[in-house]
Amino acid sequence: MLPHLSSKPSEATHQVRAALDAVFSWSYSSEIDALRSLYAKGLDRQWNAMRDLPWEGGIDRSAFASSFTMGGFPIQETDFWKTLGPDTQWDVARRGSAFMLSNFLHGEQGALMVASQLVNAVPHMDGKFYAATQTLDEARHVEVFAAYIEKLDHIYPIAPSLQKLLDATLGGDDWCTKCVGMQIVVEGLALFSFRDMRNATNEPLLKQLLTYVGRDEARHTAYGIKYLGSVVPTLSPAEVAALEDFAFEAARMLLDSRSGPTMRGAVLERWKEAGVDPADVMAALAKESGMARIVAKMGGRRGPVSGFVIPTLQAIGLLSDRIQGHFRDMFDHMQGIGAQDIMGSIVALPEDLDAWIEDGAPAG
Ligand SMILES: [Fe+2]
Ligand SMILES: [Fe+2]
């Protein structure tokens, strides 16, 4: 017998007015070869989250605690970390990671909904086919992240700035806007961060999970690059400028969502729950020599934007001098390496995203 379900959203939901025009295409033959072959690849590389991952072994706690990454910050390399006992290390690692992974999980749900919107909104059959495979991929990602987080701790609420970005993308009223918000900015962040996390962790279940998810995300990003890359040159200057503005705003929200003051506060809250005074953490980190250099090398919280989103925007023709100026101003207002270092030498996008996911080389 099925439980009684209400047709109305419960309190455990968030509603946003989604905008799109649903477009039928009467051209059923393939028009964009690159997207058709991406669709074929997507079909070929499906996997089953519950069947294909080693869930039965559970999480290897010491491997997890010795190799987790929190927003790109290598806490295990500090002397302070070594003063904590193994139980506290595991407690900090599991709570902090569950918090970070929860935001990835919520982002995956946003991706699931945007991908399904793209099935309706894109005007080419190849684009619809591909978005249909991505929709299934994203459902699987929601499934695996939720299952993994439940083994660590519990699912934390979404960061407000990530919610804002997902809402803006779902509410964007043309498909190019949705594609820029999701396939370029959110997917770019996901691909970059999952790769970082995959290469850092020695925990076997998480490594395998992120390998599968990362391969899917590489296709999702490739879709945005190939599709928008072929459409942007046909748009009017005003349409291009509007897309550039949206991309910049999305990236700005993304930086806020990753580790603005609120995010840092939320991570420190997890330390407190594990019995470590946040004031001691901050004082100890301030004393660590070489930390600033490591963080600067990794790009800190700008990493995914400077290492992936900006080169992607350049590749698809959405990085005019005007918008580069906006990025430069934004970086100028953030601490760390000078803006010139980032905008003066934009890194090249990896040619083979699939291979890049697993090659372990430093980003950029
Ligand atoms: Fe995903
Ligand atoms: Fe994705």
Backbone conformation region of residue 336, classed left if phi is above 0, alpha if psi is from -120 to 50, else beta = left
- Span from the CA of 180 to the centroid of ligand 1 (angstroms): 15
Q: How many CA atoms lie within 13 A of 292 on its CB side?
A: 6
| 298 is a domain residue | no
- Span from the CA of 31 to the centroid of ligand 2 (angstroms): 23
- Span from the CA of 213 to the centroid of ligand 1 (angstroms): 7
269: Cβ contacts below 8 Å, ≥ 6 apart: 278
Among the bound ligands, name the one nearest to the CA of residue 143.
1
- Span from the CA of 25 to the centroid of ligand 2 (angstroms): 24
| 138 is a domain residue | yes
More confident residue, 269 or 243: 243
Please tell me the least confidently modeled range out of 99-103, 224-228, 263-267, 314-318.
263-267
Q: What is the pLDDT of residue 247?
A: 95
347: Cβ contacts below 8 Å, ≥ 6 apart: 306, 307, 311, 363, 364
Place of tokens 């996008």: 349
| 107 is a domain residue | yes
| 49 is a domain residue | yes
Among the bound ligands, name the one nearest to the CA of residue 142.
1
325: Cβ contacts below 8 Å, ≥ 6 apart: none
As a whole number of angstroms, the distance between CA 33 and CA 130 comes to: 12
By residue count, the chain amounts to 364
Q: What is the pLDDT of residue 339?
A: 47
- Span from the CA of 13 to the centroid of ligand 2 (angstroms): 22
- Span from the CA of 277 to the centroid of ligand 2 (angstroms): 37
Torsions phi, psi for 73 (to 5 deg): -100, 120
Could you report the per-residue pLDDT of 285-334, keeping only the tens digit for each? Answer: 777 766 665 555 555 556 778 778 899 999 999 999 999 999 888 887 77
Domain that holds residue 104: 33-279
The mean per-residue pLDDT over the stretch 66-86 comes to 80
- Span from the CA of 335 to the centroid of ligand 2 (angstroms): 30
The mean per-residue pLDDT over the stretch 225-231 comes to 95
Among the bound ligands, name the one nearest to the CA of residue 223.
2
Please tell me the least confidently modeled range out of 155-169, 248-262, 305-319.
248-262
Residue 337: count other Cβ atoms within 10 Å of its Cβ.
16
- Span from the CA of 22 to the centroid of ligand 2 (angstroms): 21
Q: What is the pLDDT of residue 291?
A: 62
- Span from the CA of 147 to the centroid of ligand 1 (angstroms): 15
Among the bound ligands, name the one nearest to the CA of residue 144.
1
| 191 is a domain residue | yes
Torsions phi, psi for 44 (to 5 deg): -65, -35
- Residue 60 pLDDT > 90: yes
Among the bound ligands, name the one nearest to the CA of residue 49.
1
Contact between 204 and 63 under an 8 Å Cβ cutoff? The reply is: yes
Give the number of domains in the chain. 1
Q: What is the mean pLDDT of the chain?
A: 87
Q: What is the pLDDT of residue 90?
A: 94
Among the bound ligands, name the one nearest to the CA of residue 108.
1
| 178 is a domain residue | yes
- Span from the CA of 111 to the centroid of ligand 2 (angstroms): 6
Contact between 143 and 96 under an 8 Å Cβ cutoff? The reply is: no
Torsions phi, psi for 70 (to 5 deg): -115, 95
| 322 is a domain residue | no
Tokens representing 91? 């407690």
Q: What is the pLDDT of residue 11?
A: 78
As a whole number of angstroms, the distance between CA 315 and CA 287 comes to: 41
Could you report the per-residue pLDDT of 102-117, keeping only the tens digit for each? Answer: 999 999 999 999 999 9
CA-to-CA separations, 118 to 186, 192, 219, 267, in angstroms, rounded: 15, 23, 15, 34
CATH number at residue 251: 1.10.620.20
DSSP state string for 94-132: HHHHHHHHHHHHHHHHHHHHHHHHHHHH-SSHHHHHHHH
